[in-house]
Amino acid sequence: MPTNQQILLDNRPTGEAATGNFKLVSSETPALQEGQVLVRHHFLSLDPYMRGRMNDSKSYTAPQPLGEVMGAGTVGEVAESRSPQFKPGDQVVGMGGWQHYSVVNAGEPGALRKVDTTHVPLSYYLGAVGMPGVTAWYGLVKVIEPKAGETMVVSAATGAVGSAFGVLAKSRGCRAVGIAGGPEKCRYAVDELGFDACIDYKLHPDAASLSKALKAACPDGIDGYFENVGGMVLDAVLLRMNAFGRIAVCGMIAGYDGQPLPLTYPALILTNRLKVQGFIVSEHMGIWPEALKELGTLVASGKLRPRETIAQGLESAPEAFLGLLKGKNFGKQLVKLI
């Protein structure tokens, strides 16, 4: 069995996460038992939710245990199999973590899924046609419930979730407006993803300024908002929400370092009778087949053209992850392992 390189969570961050929170180790891959498969990972996914798991605090999921491999979505191929469900060479997606290889119990529901790379590149199963894409789909379709002609806004608009959200909203006849950092990202949102407008939040020092830009981009107000950021951005959007608007809360990356995120205008939730709902996509596995089918079709047809930022080698994962938390990535952040 091959020697395996792994990155562990060595200690918990105080304030901002740092490369010193992680530790690179080598270990022997255990021999396969009956019903298990050995997967060689080609790509691993880096996602904002991982920052929350680094803390030892109450959340929707258990904290990342110290001294264990960092959890993460992975895609790769079956290197060896002792399960009739999989054979060597099968392309698969799973939760293999920050390591080169994983041993998976093939019979465990949802542990490993074969994927077709004929029309969809393997790495996309960690982004547009994976958990981030399904997250966008659930927030739009099940929480916001858009109607044709309504205005939809999403923060972190060019990330893996935001880009899928915009394309899904446009396919339902909505006006799609993004909020992203920098002119290049905003051009991509409009020119390649088909957003009607995209606002560069870096040009706006406060919520009042950002809200003024939102008024110009959303002349009929905002009916649905997909929240990835929180803080000043949420304050700005609340000032432009229409009565009976819906907000799907997916992430609060502005507060992932543990600082409080005060809300400046909470009374607007009442005044505008807003629906504000947080959700965790892994709690809604029943909708994944429907969502993945639509997302795969959008990618295969060229309507959804996701961007990727790819770091090379396992040892690059901590630095790439810290960059993701500061918005240095463009599109889906991955680490290539092979």
Domain ranges of the chain: 3-127+306-336, 131-282
CA atoms within 13 A on the CB side of 282: 8
The CATH number of 3-127+306-336 is 3.90.180.10
Q: Could you give the CA distance from residue 225 to residue 154 in angstroms, rounded to a whole number? A: 6
Report pLDDT for 259: 76
Report pLDDT for 44: 98
Report pLDDT for 296: 94
Q: Which residues pair with 81 in a beta bridge?
A: 37
Report pLDDT for 251: 87
Q: Fold for domain 131-282?
A: Rossmann fold (3.40.50)
**Could you list the mean pLDDT of each consecutive 10-residue stretch along the chain, which spans 338 residues?**
95 94 96 97 95 85 93 97 97 97 93 93 96 97 98 95 97 98 96 97 97 98 96 97 97 78 94 97 94 95 93 98 92 96
Q: Could you give the CA distance from residue 29 to residue 186 in angstroms, rounded to a whole number? A: 44
Q: Six-digit token pair at 109?
A: 């529901």
Report pLDDT for 225: 98
Residues 88 and 38 sit within 8 Å (Cβ to Cβ)? no
The reported pTM is 0.91
Report pLDDT for 327: 86
Report pLDDT for 253: 82
Secondary structure (3-state) at 40: strand
Q: Six-digit token pair at 174?
A: 């909505």
Report pLDDT for 149: 98
Residue 202 is classified by DSSP as G
